Amino acid sequence: MNFLRKLRRGNTETFSYLAYGIGEIVLVVIGILIAVSINNWNEDRLKKNELENIYNIVKQDLENDLEEIDEILGFYEDRKPLFQNVLQDSVTRIDYIYNPVYYFLILGYPEISFDKRGFSLLSEFRSNSDNSSDTLVTKIIDFYTERFLEIEIDDNFRAEDFKDNYFYWKNNFDWWSDYIMRKDVTGFLDYALNDPDYKNRVANAYFLAYDVFLPELDIFKERATTIIESIDSAN
């Protein structure tokens, strides 16, 4: 009987130690799970804050881009009647004299430079984040990727057209030095008023600006405004 009592007491003590040990393990596991949950929550919060900051940078970039685009659109809007007058053969020597803008109508153009900091940060964030499928992130990156490509192509056309005019005049006309230094534009006026080559070049510049480049800027404006509204709604 004493043996049985000792055996039962021993079993009871063993079960107690076992239960205690299991309880300790459960507490440790629960502690680990809580710590992991807190860590995940903290990481999610930090990523959310990081993404919100990037959104704000993207928004500021787009607002700056829209201001620059408006300036370019204004530049071309002011010169559109001049282009049309040349193409309609309604410009006289007196018109050139009283409106010097005619002299350099196709020799030069307003450059455009987009702010890309937000786009770069957002692309890096998506590559390092599990939230790569976030709808707004994808929408913004797709917008930038498409618009930058389309506008860059059309902007290169403008640059090539400018260079073609510049070097053709420089290499083929004696009046170039006086014209470019604004000393005497008589030779240029004779060319502009009498040579069909000039009208062809004006027509080409008009086409590249008003029919190709500016419509892409209008698309950028429309979609950028939508992106800004989406960012405001997300914040």
- Convert the pLDDT of each residue in 112-143 to its tens digit: 999 999 999 999 998 887 655 578 999 999 99
* E-state strands within 45-120: none
Q: Is residue 205 part of a domain?
A: yes
Q: Is residue 97 part of a domain?
A: yes
Give the model's pLDDT for residue 128. 83
Distance CA 205, CA 200 (A): 9
Q: Is the pLDDT of residue 11 over 60?
A: no
Distance CA 196, CA 226 (A): 44
What pLDDT band is residue 41 in, cutting at 50, 70 and 90?
Answer: low
Q: Is residue 62 part of a domain?
A: yes
- pTM for this model (two decimals): 0.80
Q: Is the pLDDT of residue 7 over 50?
A: no
Q: Is residue 5 part of a domain?
A: no
What pLDDT band is residue 188 in, cutting at 50, 70 and 90?
Answer: very high
Q: Average pLDDT in the 168-178 region?
A: 96
Distance CA 29, CA 84 (A): 79
- Ranking 6-10, 203-207, 214-218 by mean pLDDT, the lowest is 6-10
Q: Is residue 13 part of a domain?
A: no
Distance CA 155, CA 37 (A): 51
| Domain count across the chain | 1
Residue predicted with more confidence, 44 or 155: 155
Q: Average pLDDT in the 90-107 region?
A: 94
Q: Is residue 152 part of a domain?
A: yes
Characterize 59-82 residue by residue with b for buried, 16 or more Cβ atoms within 10 angstroms of its Cβ, and e for exposed: bebbeebbebbeebeeebeebeeb
Give the model's pLDDT for residue 44. 63
Q: How far, CA to CA in Å, does 133 sit from each of 40, 115, 126? A: 19, 24, 8
Mean pLDDT (the chain) is: 87
Q: Which residues contact 234 (CB under 8 A, 6 or more apart)?
A: 52, 55, 136
Q: Is residue 136 part of a domain?
A: yes
Q: Is residue 26 part of a domain?
A: no
Query: 10 Å Cβ neighbour count for 54?
Result: 23
Count CA atoms within 13 Å of residue 157 on its CB side: 17
Six-digit token string for 60: 């500021």
Distance CA 87, CA 130 (A): 56
Q: Is the pLDDT of residue 231 over 90?
A: yes
Distance CA 1, CA 30 (A): 43
Give the model's pLDDT for residue 235. 73
- Ranking 21-25, 59-63, 129-133, 222-226 by mean pLDDT, the lowest is 129-133
What pLDDT band is residue 10 in, cutting at 50, 70 and 90?
Answer: low
Query: 97: domain range?
Result: 47-234
Sign of the CA dihedral 131, 135, 140, 142? positive
